[in-house]
Homo-oligomer: A and B are copies of this chain.
């Protein structure tokens, strides 16, 4: 799937569910969206947006993974969001970007020019409502993450992250949730560390420990098998059966 193959795609043809806009849009609205839409690709490692930049688009991740990060002057960085396919980027009604957005893998974005999108939103209440819902979901995810960052041990943090990735992966895979799960880690050890408020060495050690204890199996560095999700959830110290990330 390359950039040019998107040239003639319609919104409804995106290989992802456009959570922001497509679900309840009628034909007129889809056409209006189509007129202000374009695709853009980013290579792994490329910045998509710098904190403080003026953003002239909003959009959804079509494929690939991007991260939202904050950085202190001295270089300490904290990831504050993980963008997986179908996630929305940008904030209608806001001028500048608040965070750095970086493509972790090759990324395809479906973008809408911001001004016309806002105008469409103005006269289409259900889009505004959907956006509010999505923002509330993000807020829940952020607060869930505050618990992880503030109160969980390194091992629990790793287990929580694996659970989130496994769960998000499952929502994109037909068949739904089973106890056994297989997926590829979309992040380097360093990116995981930035997400979890740890060092990359600690991440590596804890992953090794989870492997030794049979909670996960590893093939290479990135390919993970979870023999029993319930075991992983227990390691994550998570009482909820996992509504996180919305």
Contacts and interface: CB of A to CB of B under 8 A. Distances in A.
A176 interface: no
Interface residues on A, range: 35 or more
Given A98-B140, A128-B132, A150 B147 contact: no
A120 to B, nearest CB: 13
A234 to B, nearest CB: 11
Contacts of A143: 68, 70, 80-81, 98-99, 142
Interface in A118-149: 122, 125, 128-129, 131-133, 135-136, 138-140, 142-147, 149
Nearest to A76: B151
Nearest to A198: B150
A42 to B, nearest CB: 22
Interface stretch (A21-29, A88-96, A200-208): A88-96
Nearest to A143: B80
A237 B239 CA distance: 34
A98 to B, nearest CB: 6
Interface of A: 68, 70, 72-74, 76-78, 80-81, 91-94, 98-99, 122, 125, 128-129, 131-133, 135-136, 138-140, 142-147, 149-151, 196-197, 237, 239
Contacts of A72: 147, 151, 237, 239
A146 B149 contact: yes
Contacts of A135: 132, 135-136, 139
A118 B197 CA distance: 38
A142 B139 CA distance: 7
